Homo-oligomer: A and B are copies of this chain.
Amino acid sequence: MTVSVDEIGNLFARREGTQRDAAPVLIGSHLDTQPEGGRFDGVYGVLAALELVRALNDADIATGKPIEIVSWTNEEGARFTPAMLGSAVFTGVTSLEEALAKQDAQGITLADALAQSGYRGTRAVRFQAVDSYFEAHIEQGPVLEANGTTIGVVTGGQAIRWLDVTVTGVAAHAGTTPMPYRKDAYFAAAQMALELEKIAERRAPRALVTIGQASIANASRNTIAGKVAFTVDLRHHDDNEVDAMERDLRAAFASAAKTRGVEVSIETYWRSPATPFAPSCVALVAQAVDALGYSNERIVSGAGHDAIHLARYCPTAMVFIPCVDGLSHNEAEDALPEDVTRGANVLLNAVLARAGVAATLNAK
């Protein structure tokens, strides 16, 4: 294979096909991880791609289109934010200059970190012809395991919206302020949280709502909270439903604020629309699973993946396998060996169908 590194550190290994001018089928994932992450998130997709090529070599199979294994830079966003930066630059979502200037917590730029590690490559990062992209990954959730399903045929990524909410009441003495005089930002925020939960319940099971960060300004045990800031993560398969969830949230939070005499401000921090994968590629994954006889179900990816960026650039599909207890971003992250193997088999069959089998190199 021919190995190259592009300007943002994405690592490629190319196996030529018989159609010399054809755009390659990309297969891969990422090798970076979370500070206390496990051995499968990302790594599985890269190793599955490597195993796929080894299997082709072992079987002396030549593909029509070239195959390129890719390991994307900084998918997790653990050192440099945002996440999925290498694929963002590759697909033009983020400019190379902006990405290289990102700094880690110590103020080191991505450009310097790449240079220091020897992964500041020279291959041009943009405007590359790509036939398609396939990525195998652990589900990072409990659904496949709970349903006893071996393979998740991923149909796309769900819509995500991140909001920043600030509730402003009046900080006051916990001992001297009668309840009716209070403008307690914490109790107001608690009411908003439960209203948010109801918004998800009304759109079950597709709507997901999370408050992952919350803090009281100048918090003190015996001071009524004057200001509470919290984040909201809204997700749904359908963009219109996320819009409706945000509308309901704004109405419910405004109403709660009015009742309690506090103020609420809601800002949209980030929005990522729902990203359907190309039906042609999804069908190849589904056909591979059917041919292999594995149990399977259609699933929408709850997490972000490089495939979400790629899906806006070229036909894309993903293969999910179950992970034990749905656990991810955790050193205990695990997947059963038979599931790991089956996922790689599905990837192989789908990619072969897309790339085309040209000939066996040497008859055995």
Docked Cα-Cα span, A175 to B83, in Å, equals 14
Of the listed stretches A24-32, A57-65, A187-195, name the one at the interface; the rest are far from the partner chain: A187-195
Within the oligomer, what is the number of copies of this chain?
A: 2
Cβ-defined partner of A216 (8 Å) among B197, B204, B205, B213: B213
Q: Which residue in B158, B174, B194, B224 is a CB contact (below 8 Å) of A191?
A: B194
Residues of B within 8 Å of A158, CB to CB, are 175
Chain B residue nearest in CB terms to A193: B190
- Verify if A214 is at the interface (C-beta below 8 Å from B): yes
A362 CB–B CB distance under 8 Å: no
- Whether B233 pairs with A174 at a CB distance below 8 angstroms is yes
> With A177-B302, A181-B146 in contact, do A172 and B326 touch (Cβ < 8 Å)?
yes
Residues on B with C-beta less than 8 A from A181 are 141-142, 146, 326
* A193 and B186 within 8 A (CB): yes
**Do A186 and B174 touch (CB < 8 A)?**
no
List CB contacts (< 8 Å) of A174-226 with chain B: 174-181, 184, 186-187, 189-191, 193-194, 197, 200-201, 204-205, 207-216, 219-225
Point out the residue from B174, B197, B208 that lies within 8 Å of A178, measured CB to CB.
Answer: B208
Q: 7 nearest interchain CB pairs?
A: A141-B176, A176-B302, A175-B302, A190-B193, A174-B210, A190-B190, A213-B219
